[in-house]
Every structure is written in C-alpha cells, then in structure tokens.
Amino acid sequence: MEHFYYVRATRRVLIGFLDFFNKIKVYNYDTSGNVGNIIDVALKYGPAEKYHLFNVQTEANKKYYVKLPAILVSIDGMSYNSSRATSVNEQRSFFNDAFEDSTPDDFWEDVVPTPYDIDFTVEVKTESIDHLFQIMENILPYFNPSNHLRLKEFDFLNLERNIKVQLKSSSIDYPKEMGEEESRYFNGVLNFTAEAYLYRPIDEGKIIKFIKTRYIYSPTKAETFS
C-alpha cells in the first residue's frame, strides 16, 4: 500500500468551486434608483465565526474587521458515496501521449477513482439587506439545483472530468437584538455538495504484443529413467 500519493484532487475541486463566486459585484443605488457606486465582493476561504475574528484581533493587538460585503467558503467534510461507485478495484488504462519521450507502446494504468462527496458551506455577509439579496440572486439561479465543474484529473495528462455541484439548502439570518458595541450585519448561508473523486497511485505499463500459448515440456534424465 502506498503511504503517500497526492494529485491535488481536493485542491482542484476547491479552486474550481471558488471560481463560481469570483468577480461578483453589488451596486449602491440612490433615491432615484440610479447606480451610485459598484463594490467588488471579497471572496475568502476560511471560517467566519466571531471567535475567529476575535482571536485575530487579540494576536495582532489591533482591531480587524472583515471587509463587507464578503463571501466566505469553508469545507465541512468528505464522505464516501457508495451509490456512485462503479467497477470498484477495476483497473483503467490510458495512453501516455503527454510526454515527448513516450512511444505508442507506453500507457498509464490506475484503479477506477473512488467517489467522495465534499461538503461546502458558503457564507454571505453584508451590511445591508439589499446587498445580501443582490449576491444571493447572482448565485442561486445558476444552481437549478446543480451545476458542473469541468476539471483536469491530472497536471500531466489532458483528461477532464465533470464534477457535479448540488445546492442542498439556503438560509438567511440577521441579528434580532444587538448590543452597543456590535455592528449590524446580514448573513446568508448556502450548503453545497460536490461529487468529487479521489485517486490511487498511477503505474506505467507496456502493451503486451506477444503471448506464448504453446510450450513443449522436456523431461530431465532423472525423470526419464525413474
């Protein structure tokens, strides 16, 4: 059993997932309905709980506030999905034509990838309810209820796979009661599941061109006179 093998499959899914929410903007409107200014929504990976922000403030000895509006993405877990498992432990082969020194006889082989579901939580934090609605309406329509990521399986081979990303739930939360030192915010929470795959080690192989099927048995002298 291999003790270390890493093709960055989880990292690829994370980067592709983050790209769903890249370059989202919100608009400020004046009383006449005209656009006043346009704000780029910050996109961050990591937790957004208050205790985390408090720890940052304490360690840095200065106040730190997340720039709002912001979208914060985190991975909650990874679970094996047996319903998507097919040809378990079966080997697959594909030609190695990505290298200059390869020949038509060279190919790669590995075991069929293992299906794992990756759960994401997306938090949308804004200072106004209108900004929250703008962001939610720029995300939700694209998941009906799912969307797809097209990702390369490996760095060194031009093989792509469609990863289904499904929206599981969405909710909106805002503080009902606030203290004097608390700032107002509106929070939207979206839960997604990406149907990803994890990979076992890859081996190099050669095409079998000749198979000997007839062998002539020649007994030794000891076997002849026994």
Q: What share of the chain is helix, strand, coil (3-state, %, to 5)?
A: 20, 40, 45
Q: On the CB side of 142, how many CA atoms lie within 13 Å of its CA?
A: 15
Residue 158 and residue 154: Cα distance in Å, rounded? 7
Residue 123 and residue 188: Cα distance in Å, rounded? 6
In order along its 226 residues, the chain shows pLDDT tens digits of 556 778 889 999 999 999 999 999 999 988 888 888 999 999 988 765 554 555 555 565 665 556 789 999 999 999 999 998 887 777 776 665 555 555 556 666 777 889 999 999 999 999 889 999 999 999 999 999 899 999 988 777 777 889 999 999 999 987 666 555 556 788 999 999 999 999 888 776 666 666 666 767 666 656 555 5
Matching residue, tokens 């209820």: 145
So what's the pLDDT on residue 146?
A: 94
Strand pairing report for 186-198 and 160-173: antiparallel
Residue 41 and residue 50: Cα distance in Å, rounded? 20
Distances (CA, A) of 145 to 56, 164, 165, 170: 36, 10, 9, 11
Distances (CA, A) of 189 to 33, 106, 139, 186, 195: 28, 49, 12, 10, 20
Q: What is the pTM of this model?
A: 0.75
Residue 139 and residue 188: Cα distance in Å, rounded? 11
So what's the pLDDT on residue 51?
A: 44
DSSP string, 58-95: HHHTS-----SSEEEEEEEEEEE-GGG--STT-EEEEE
| Contact status, residue 13 vs residue 196, Cβ threshold 8 Å | yes
So what's the pLDDT on residue 83?
A: 92
